[in-house]
Amino acid sequence: MEIQVLVKPAPETEGRIAPTADGSRLDPAGIKWVLAGYDESAVEQALLLRERSPGTIVHALSWGPAPRSEEILRAGLALGCDRATWVEAPPGFEPTGIDAARALAAVLADRPAELVLLGQQSGDSEDGLQPLALAALLGRPGFGAVSRLTWDAAGRQFSFLRSLDHGAEEWTVPAPVVVGLRQADQDPRTAKLPMILKSRKMPVDRVASATVAAALDGHPGSPPLRFSLPAPRSGAKLIEYASPEEAAQKLLKRLREEAKVLP
């Protein structure tokens, strides 16, 4: 089996996040990029599927600007992916949204992978768009919110669970399929030092932006009007009281009249 696992760089949440000077978008300067959380799970699940089905090839794919995409692909190689391809984004394209789906679909269309696997949503833009947009563009079945993904090599089909707010669905779908993963069967592994060293020397194939330009043609990304940080948290308010009853009364009053979270 061949798995194309899609990996996206997302800003490290502990890092310093700030808007650009004109306030239009997130300032990429000084940001440390890490493998987006759900994509980390997707890589883990791809590696687990390979362990359970020897001979499987796990191919990491990322679309975006250098060097962050290349670094994320090397992180994937260090975790154990067999190969990596960087799809170069033309200048001016944000590596997210429908542009990403169009560019990635243009590359994936020529790749006969049984499984296109990615996180159900990215750690930064949280669109949750890619699995279904890619499936539509590739003309393959697509599913989000997937867990417990297994491969039946004899029947050439995948089984999985879709966890929804109101319950869970069990599915069996013949390959090829596009899957947005909610959770891997185990916590994502940590890359080991020898693998990190090895990954630095492995090739990362490059698909030039010209190759995907036709897919993007006439579809310039539409940026948001403004980017702003969440409002800083205000300080805690202390309630002064003489008895527990008084504390409860004062707290209820504040929840009703100030916070307006109680009727």
Q: Under the rule (CB under 8 A), what is the footprint of another protein?
A: 67, 71, 74-75, 78, 190-194, 196-197, 199-200
Q: What's the closest the beta carbon of residue 69 comes to another protein, in angstroms?
A: 12
Closer by beta carbon to another protein, 194 or else 263: 194
Distance of CA 135 to the CA centre of its chain: 16
Closer by beta carbon to another protein, 12 or else 205: 12
Closer by beta carbon to another protein, 67 or else 112: 67
Q: What's the closest the beta carbon of residue 193 comes to another protein, in angstroms?
A: 3
Q: Burial-class residue 90 by CB neighbours within 10 Å (0-12, 13-18, 19+).
A: middle
Angle (CA) 110-103-56 rounded to 5° is: 45
Q: What's the closest the beta carbon of residue 199 comes to another protein, in angstroms?
A: 8
Closer by beta carbon to another protein, 109 or else 197: 197
Report the distance separating Cα 176 and Cα 156, nearest Å: 9
Evaluate whether 158 touches 45 at the Cβ level (below 8 Å): no
Q: What's the closest the beta carbon of residue 192 comes to another protein, in angstroms?
A: 5
Q: What's the closest the beta carbon of residue 75 comes to another protein, in angstroms?
A: 8
Closer by beta carbon to another protein, 194 or else 244: 194
Closer by beta carbon to another protein, 65 or else 142: 65
Core vs surface per residue 142-169: b (16+ CB within 10 A) or e: bbbbbbbbbbeeeeebbebbbeeeeeee
Q: What's the closest the beta carbon of residue 128 comes to another protein, in angstroms?
A: 27
CA within 13 Å, CB half, 193 = 0
At 151, give phi and psi (nearest 5°).
-120, 130
Classified as helix, coil or strand, 87 is strand
What DSSP string runs through 104-148? Answer: HHHHHTT---SEEEEESS-SSS----HHHHHHHHHTS-EEEEEEE
